[in-house]
């Protein structure tokens, strides 16, 4: 689980980060998933515009619903931005669709396109209408930052990314189209179309229900038949689909799949695992930093100077020692050819006992051995 060390003022938002009852764990897991699908996904850290009198206490403000919150913004909704020399956003444009309040039930709602331009010191709201785009609201803020945080699938630039499946997307689209063609041809093959060559139009033309045509005068030929698919088009499409699937699987599983005709050395396996684990650690660090930035923006909205600390997991290695190996090493130790300290160190390094304090464990073993020896001596004396 992720570790989140938050100032007291932010802890109350852990289980409702979006003002809709979504916990931080669920919210950021969904953000990371969509980032991996689309290449980039944004989180807007916003606070509703204050309307009415100023609150007399923080409790009254929270109860009114006036609080900062996280909002997920799809990649396609951030349509423009500019980056400063400090590699931070100077401004960004977020588009959204809003529906007007209806005068009465049953009427169609009016949909309006809005554009929110976030700057480091303010935001501006524009509305698109028949006469063009006009400014309808604006408000200053003290964040000194554009409160948009990017999460990436594969980071391409500071504010753009690639889907984690970008190397196979073209193949997937081809496969999708070919499967559609195959479905269409199979439908035509299963439901053939009749044709008729005659003087007059047939009264009914339906294979399932039959059809009839008026007889032609003597000497004039008529012809009725069924249009059927011929050739090897079905087989060719199926073969093409199979090849595309093989390419997709071979590319997507490149980290794990190996040619069966070759034997991969243990050193090569460890190197592949090391590279793969390193890539996961990079993603973990990116998501950790992005979430931490979200929490710090929330604290800025609250006017809290303390900072948040977020820690994501970096250990993606499976246990390095299996049950059989544990049994073998334990047998060697019991035979006297391996010290207990070395055995415990091997179990800790192999992640069988990852939280083990070796020195403390040895002390306990010695203490328990002493107690057992004293008990055995007392029993011996009682028997004598």
Lowest mean pLDDT segment, chosen from 181-195, 244-258, 307-321: 244-258
**More reliable by pLDDT, 171 or 233:** 171
End-to-end CA distance of the chain: 58
Q: How far lies 154's CA from each of 110, 166, 257, 280, 282, in Å?
A: 38, 9, 22, 11, 10
Spell out a b/e string for 256-288, using b for 16 or more CB atoms within 10 Å of the CB, else e.
Answer: eeeeeeeeeeeeeeeeeeeeeeeeeeebbebbb
pLDDT at position 259: 46
* Backbone torsion region of residue 10, taken as left when φ is above 0, otherwise alpha when ψ lies between -120 and 50, otherwise beta: alpha
Q: Is the CB of residue 147 less than 8 Å from the CB of residue 68?
A: no
Average pLDDT, the chain: 82
Instruction: Burial-class residue 1 by CB neighbours within 10 Å (0-12, 13-18, 19+).
Output: exposed
Phi-psi region of 144 (alpha: psi -120 to 50; beta: other; left: phi over 0): left
Query: pLDDT of 323-375, one tens digit each?
Result: 777 788 888 878 888 888 888 888 777 767 767 788 888 888 888 877 766 67
Reference 35, options 159, 118, 146, 147; nearest CA is: 159
The sign one gets for the Cα dihedral 178, 179, 185, 189 is: positive
Burial of 348 (0-12, 13-18, 19+ CB in 10 A): middle
- The predicted structure's pLDDT at residue 116: 95
pTM over 0.85: no
Percentage of residues in the chain having pLDDT higher than 90 = 38
Q: Yes or no: say if 47 and 300 are a contact pair by the CB < 8 Å rule.
A: no
The strand order across the sheet containing 122-129 reads: 78-83, 89-99, 111-119, 122-129, 132-140
Q: Give the side-chain half-sphere CA count within 13 A for 362.
A: 9
- Over its C-alpha atoms, the chain yields an Rg (Å, rounded) of 35
What is the structure's pLDDT at 108? 85
Q: 75-85 pLDDT, tens per residue?
A: 999 999 999 99
Q: What is the per-residue pLDDT across 14-62, written as a single tens digit (0 to 9) for each?
A: 999 998 999 999 999 999 999 999 999 999 999 876 555 555 555 555 5
């Amino acid at each position: 689980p992720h570790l989140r060390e938050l100032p007291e003022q932010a802890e109350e938002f852990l289980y409702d980060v979006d003002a809709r009852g979504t916990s931080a764990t669920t919210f950021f897991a969904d953000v990371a998933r969509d980032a991996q699908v689309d290449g980039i996904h944004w989180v807007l850290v916003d606070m509703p515009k204050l309307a009415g009198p100023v609150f007399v206490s923080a409790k009254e403000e929270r109860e009114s619903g006036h609080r900062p919150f996280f909002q997920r913004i799809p990649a396609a909704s951030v349509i423009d931005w500019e980056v400063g020399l400090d590699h931070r956003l100077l401004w960004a444009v977020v588009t959204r669709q809003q529906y007007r309040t209806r005068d009465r039930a049953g009427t169609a709602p009016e949909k309006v396109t809005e554009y929110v331009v976030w700057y480091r010191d303010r935001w501006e709201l524009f509305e698109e209408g028949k006469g063009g785009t006009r400014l309808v609201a604006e408000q200053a803020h003290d964040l000194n930052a554009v409160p948009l945080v990017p999460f990436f699938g594969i980071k391409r630039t500071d504010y753009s990314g690639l889907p984690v499946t970008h190397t196979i997307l073209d193949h997937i689209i081809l496969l999708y189209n070919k499967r559609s063609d195959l479905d269409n041809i199979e439908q035509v093959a299963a439901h053939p179309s009749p044709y008729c060559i005659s003087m007059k139009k047939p009264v009914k033309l339906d294979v399932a229900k039959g059809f009839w045509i008026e007889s032609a005068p003597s000497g004039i030929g008529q012809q009725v038949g069924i249009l059927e698919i011929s050739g090897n088009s079905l087989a060719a499409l199926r073969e093409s689909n199979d090849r595309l699937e093989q390419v997709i699987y071979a590319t997507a599983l490149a980290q794990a799949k190996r040619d069966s005709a070759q034997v991969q050395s243990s050193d090569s396996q460890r190197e592949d695992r090391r590279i793969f684990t390193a890539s996961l650690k990079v993603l973990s660090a990116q998501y950790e930093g992005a979430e931490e930035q979200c929490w710090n923006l929330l604290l800025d909205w609250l006017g809290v100077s303390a900072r948040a600390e977020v820690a994501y997991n970096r250990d993606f290695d499976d246990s390095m020692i299996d049950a059989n190996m544990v049994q073998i090493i334990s047998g060697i130790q019991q035979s006297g050819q391996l010290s207990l300290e070395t055995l415990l160190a091997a179990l800790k390094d192999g992640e069988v006992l990852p939280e083990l304090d070796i020195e403390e464990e040895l002390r306990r073993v010695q203490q328990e051995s002493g107690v057992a020896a004293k008990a055995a001596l007392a029993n011996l004396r009682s028997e004598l």
